[in-house]
Structures are given as structure tokens and as C-alpha cells.
Amino acid sequence: MKIGIIGAGAWGTAFAVHLARQGHQILLWVYERELFDTLQKTSENTFYLPTFTLNHQIDFTQSLEELTEFSDDIIIAVPSFALRQTLEIVSTLLSKKRLLVLTKGFEEKNLLRMSEVVCEITQNKEFVAVLSGPSFAKEVAQGFFTSVVVASSTGNIAKYFQNIAHNQNFRVYTSEDIIGLEVGGAMKNVMAIGAGIIEGLKLGTNTLAAFVTRSLAEIKRLGKALGAKETTFMGLSGIGDLMLTCYGGLSRNRAFGIELSKGRIADEIIRNQKQVVEGYYTINASYTLSKRLKVDMPITEELYRIVFEGKSLRDSLADITSRGLKDEDA
């Protein structure tokens, strides 16, 4: 089967490796000219997923038009901040394609989930699915066992991509709660920044466990306000992905938090970071969304004030730990 992948970052490349192992023919769209030339010469993504030689079933292009002509099955794996601008180039060509969205986050300007952005641009609401779950790109490329969820508003398209992506080492479940899937996938990146701060300040595993637990409560509140099912957040795309990103050493968002704990300025860290830190771009949108929906999200608010207003970590910790008494399920 021929499959096009838009985005040659770590996740897009790892997904290409995974699908090629199953015998699919892959065309991978590459944004950077230098990376495209390197891939053509060496078949190694030295920018985002080094040490993996991509097999002969993966080809490369810088033409979105060529990619849309290549296949009716398109995987979208560009960063959240670049999603709209990238897809607008070929919006009409994507209107009848089957689209699987790997991108996680909220659009900063319009506060839309990634599937909403895709549907708005392509006017394609029937054939859009989203994949999420605990899945570090490097480990997927290595072939380590991974389990994820694919969701769509109509079950058929989720099951279609389930059949394409599933194998013994990459277990794919399906869901119809696309809202819950995307909220969990977006917010775990935000919370992982806080986990990195806790790790960097050496505040202990008790603190981290409490933080992750209350992070999940906060994510569930936002999801409920947006119409998600609470049970979704107890699954792979909720607690599963949150645990991976908060505890895992391969998490870029956690690493960003560790750098913040050293007193570095957020913008400076991002400028010197080749890999995309999705949580950085999601904080502002999720904070704004919480205020619009009147959802209590104190962790998100403190992270917003640290990253975008320069609030000191010690002041933030003091404010979050001195909050008034309340019931756990409140």
C-alpha cells in the first residue's frame, strides 16, 4: 500500500519506519532543504532521528502536490504551530483523502484541536482520524512494543487506520472519543514541563507522583468542559501518555522543564532547540482555553506564568502548595 507522510520530524520519520517494516511504500515530505539532501544521500534523518537507516521503501519529496498524488492515505505529522500553514498549500487536494493526524496540541490563535484545524482547512470531516498514546518516536523506530489509540468521529475511518498501523509490536486500539484523545495528547506535553521542573529541582518522587495525579485531574476537567468522556483519560491517550511524558527520559517537554529549573529563560531554550517542544506552544492556548471555559487549572496557570511571564519557580511552588483545602474530586 502507498502512504504519504507530511512531516519528517522524529515522529513522522519513526512512523514511516514502522509502516515500511510492514511492507507499505512510503513517501515522506521533508520541509528543510538540507535535511532533504541528507536523506537523499544517506537515508538517515540526522536532524531528528539519527542512527536509523531508512529502508528502500521510504522515498522523500519536498512537493506536497507530489505527495497528495502518491496516495489517498495521508499521515500528518507536522508541528502544531505549522499545521495550518502547511496544509493550506494543498487544502483542496486533501478534501477526499483519508487523513491520520499524529500532531498533538491546540492551535494557539483559534484554540482549536488539531483535527478541527485539519477539518476546517480541508473541508474533510468524514475521513479524518487521530492517533495518540504513549509512544516515544525512538522506541517505535527501534521496534519496541508500543500501544496507541486511533479515534475518529465515524468509527470506520479509525478502524481503517487501525488495520494499516497495527502489528504484533504496535498494538492499535480504536475509540470514538476524538475530543478526549486530543485533549489528553495536547495537555500531557504541558504537564511534562512541570514534571521536568520537579525533577530538575530534585523535589522528590512523592512530589512528582502528586503532581502527575493532580495533572490528570486538571486534564479531565478540561476534557469534560469540551465534551470528552472521562473514561478516555484513564486509558492510553490519557494517563498512559501522561506517565510516559512525565517520567520518560526521552521526553523533550520534560527536558525543557529541567532546563527551566536551572534558571534558563524559556525563549532562549526554544531558540537553541532543534526538536519541537510542543508543550511550550500548547501552554498559552490551554491557559486561554481554561479561562474561556471557566475551568480551574492551577498547574497550567502556574506553568503559563513561569514560561511567559517569568515568574520565579520558588514563588510558583509556594503559590501552588498553599492553595486552600478542598475535596480530591473537586
Task: Give me the active site residues, please.
Answer: 188
Q: Distance of CA 70 to CAs 3, 7, 56, Å?
A: 7, 15, 16
CA distance 326 to 313: 24
Say which residues have a Cβ less than 8 Å from residue 324's Cβ, sequence separation at least 6.
none
CA distance 330 to 318: 21
Handedness of CA 238, 214, 270, 110 (dihedral sign): positive
CA distance 44 to 37: 10
Residues 178-195: b if buried by 16+ CB within 10 A, e if exposed: bbbbbbbbbbbbbbbbbb
Report which of 80, 89, 90 is spatially closest to residue 112, judged by C-alpha positions: 80
Residue count (the chain): 330
CA angle 166, 169, 170 (to 5 degrees): 40
Decide if 217 contacts 281 (C-beta within 8 A): no
Q: Alpha-carbon Rg of the chain, whole angstroms?
A: 19
